């Protein structure tokens, strides 16, 4: 099987495994993360392109936000599928490692991970900030029926998620390109928050 045939089948497999995902974790999120990750391979000058592309397409499969628990099965499903495409076990193991550990909550430190891991993680995190990040956050908040903002802090809100996670991502970037892109998207988050509170405070008076 050649490269393009492999990627086409991985795309189909990834697209089939999006049941219960919200609009911020749909096929287009996978496309954006894949494309950003491939851009990082180019600009950073490291990372096995096929490993990065497959890992990006499969990074959200089995995500615990959309399943009762992150299937221990996700690893076996990915392994079984990638073996059927004739990929080497070494590549398959890394794709599964990235799938299991990419999430913010895992808090993996760069010393423990590969260049490909750092690239896919940066690409995923870049999609959580900037204009698209804001759109995704409010979409996910709506999906969970969270408040937009809760001044008393009694209920989960998307504005609270900015402090809990989104504003921290800039400092957590692994790659030089990721840091540069994150800088601009972070500023956009800050100007959004400034305007949000300007409007909120005016309405509160
Ligand atoms: P991770 O697994 O690292 O959290 P994902 O790309 O799977 O990364 O999803 C993270 C995205 O989900 C965030 O960028 C945000 O858009 C959304 N999200 C997660 N938790 C919340 C929350 N409590 N409120 C609003 N959005 C959230
Ligand atoms: Ni993601």
* pLDDT tens readout for residues 46-103: 999 999 999 999 999 998 888 765 555 899 999 999 999 999 999 999 999 999 999 8
Average pLDDT of 36-47? 98
Ligand 1 binding pocket includes 39 (Cβ within 6 Å): no
Q: Are 92 and 76 in contact (CB under 8 A)?
A: no
Q: How close is the Cα of 158 to the center of ligand 1, in Å?
A: 10
Topology of domain 3-204, per CATH?
Answer: Hypothetical protein af1432 (1.10.3210)
Q: How close is the Cα of 125 to the center of ligand 2, in Å?
A: 8
C-alpha closest to that of 197 among 164, 146, 154, 162: 162
List Cβ neighbours of 41 (8 Å cut-off, separation of 6 or more).
47, 49, 52, 119
Q: Are 38 and 31 in contact (CB under 8 A)?
A: no
147: helix, strand or coil: strand
Strand partners for 157 = 147
Average pLDDT of 19-26? 94
Convert the pLDDT of each residue in 162-185 to its tens digit. 999 999 999 999 999 999 999 999
Distance (Å, whole) CA 170 – CA 133: 13
pLDDT computed for residue 170 by the predictor: 98
pLDDT computed for residue 204 by the predictor: 74
Kindly state the tokens that stand for 2.
């050649």
Indicate the top mutation candidate among 135, 137, 144 to test ligand 1's pocket, ranked by most ligand atoms within 8 A of CB. 137
Residue 33 Cα: closest atom of ligand 1: 6
Convert the pLDDT of each residue in 122-161 to its tens digit. 999 999 999 999 999 999 999 999 999 999 999 999 999 9
pLDDT computed for residue 46 by the predictor: 98
Terminal alpha carbon distance of the chain: 65
Query: Where in the chain are the domains?
Result: 3-204
Ligand 1 binding pocket includes 122 (Cβ within 6 Å): no
pLDDT computed for residue 104 by the predictor: 78
For residues 105 and 77, the model is more confident at: 77
Whether 26 shows a pLDDT value over 90: the answer reads yes
Q: How close is the Cα of 128 to the center of ligand 1, in Å?
A: 7
Ligand 1 binding pocket includes 100 (Cβ within 6 Å): no
């Amino acid at each position: 099987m050649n490269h393009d045939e492999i990627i086409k089948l991985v795309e189909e497999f990834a697209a089939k495994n999006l049941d219960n995902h919200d609009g911020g974790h749909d096929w287009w999120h996978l496309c954006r993360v894949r494309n950003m990750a491939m851009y990082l391979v180019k600009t950073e000058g490291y990372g096995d392109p096929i490993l990065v592309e497959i890992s990006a397409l499969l990074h959200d499969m089995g995500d615990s936000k959309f399943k009762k628990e992150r299937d221990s099965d996700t690893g076996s499903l990915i392994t079984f599928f990638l073996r059927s495409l004739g990929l080497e076990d070494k590549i398959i193991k890394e794709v599964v490692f990235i799938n299991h550990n990419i999430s913010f909550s895992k808090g993996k430190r760069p010393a423990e991970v590969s260049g490909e891991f750092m690239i896919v993680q940066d690409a995923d995190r870049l999609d959580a900030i900037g204009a698209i990040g804001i759109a995704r956050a409010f979409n996910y908040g709506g999906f969970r029926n969270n408040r937009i903002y809760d001044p008393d802090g009694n209920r989960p809100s998307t504005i609270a998620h900015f402090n809990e996670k989104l504003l921290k991502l800039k400092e957590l970037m692994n790659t030089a390109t990721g840091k540069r892109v994150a800088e601009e998207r972070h500023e956009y988050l800050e100007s959004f928050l400034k305007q949000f509170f300007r409007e909120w405070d005016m309405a509160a008076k």
